[in-house]
Amino acid sequence: METLYPNPITPSQTRIGWVGIGVMGFAMASRILSAGYTLTFYARNPSHPNAIALRSQGATQAQSLAQLAQLSDVLFTMVGHPSDVRALLDSLLPALRPNSVTVDNTSSHPNLARTIFTQARALGAWAVDAPVSGGDVGARDGTLAIFAAGERKVVEWLHPLFSILGRETYMGPAGCGQSCKIANQITISANLVGVSEGLIFAKRAGLDLKGFLEGIREGAAGSKALEIFGQRMIDGDFRPGGFTEYLVKDLGMGVDVVEGASDDEVVVLPGASLWKQLFSSMVANGQGKLGSQGIISVIERINGMDERN
């Protein structure tokens, strides 16, 4: 039982591999399992609750990354940092079989995505960078925005799997998916700061906060950020759909000038630089593992409204 590119993907034949079973990865892997696919995963901690839950859903746990690569037609990775991706692929890439496909859903660096693509092709395999947006709700409900890049025909071939997770958009050659995710993070950061400041102003003005959200929902200020995070901000619910420290990492890839970069690669983004500092203050305050909606706590502290502690 196997389905390697370009043979059609089917639940009965295609073997899925998975690395990364945190908040997002676990929900995504669970959806693949629920769609009837055979899924094998690797976890450094076999006793992690999410590992136990996946096994209870019918998944198999691989003993090593190399074994996982050998057992997979399509291998997804959903980890935290570019350094994690590099470490994983050092073990996974040499073990990939010709015409297997690795899909990296991690928010990582465009240059690393291009390197992985080149290395995979040298081995006769394929690589797609496909970071996602939509948080824990999107991962659970299968409504993620997927920014897919690499060989267009391979991305199209992956549609049966992407459609379980959300909606994919082809962004271009390898690395373009990661560039899109960085631009996405710049945009969502502006939204989160804006929602936070709107709520703080509304609170000081004596408005009913739920009424405020309802009032602006259908106007120009309405946004996905407002829908997903507005009520959570009011409730002080900062449980992570994605860690704030990861958002800081993503913003850094957009605003930090890399040594050796050419002039046409440098983009001056004053707003994003400020937002990075605001979210970095959460990390400095020990809130790096909270959800990014916790940015409202930063705005509260600035305004002497630190009532949650």
Q: Which residues are tagged catalytic?
A: 181
Cα separation, 215 vs 286, in Å, equals 34
Unique residue bearing structure tokens 């060989």:
151
φ, ψ of residue 259 to 5 degrees: the values are -60, 130
Please state the length of the chain.
309
Cα separation, 7 vs 177, in Å, equals 24
Burial class (CB in 10 A: 0-12, 13-18, 19+), 61: middle
> Which residues face 252 on adjacent strands?
none
Long-range contacts of 157-162 (CB under 8 A, 24+ apart): 157/5, 157/6, 157/9, 157/101, 158/9, 158/74, 158/101, 158/103, 158/128, 158/130, 160/9, 160/10, 161/9, 161/14, 161/16, 161/32, 161/37, 161/74, 161/103, 162/130
Q: Which of 105, 107, 240, 110 is nearest to 185 (CA)?
A: 107
> Which residues face 61 on adjacent strands?
41
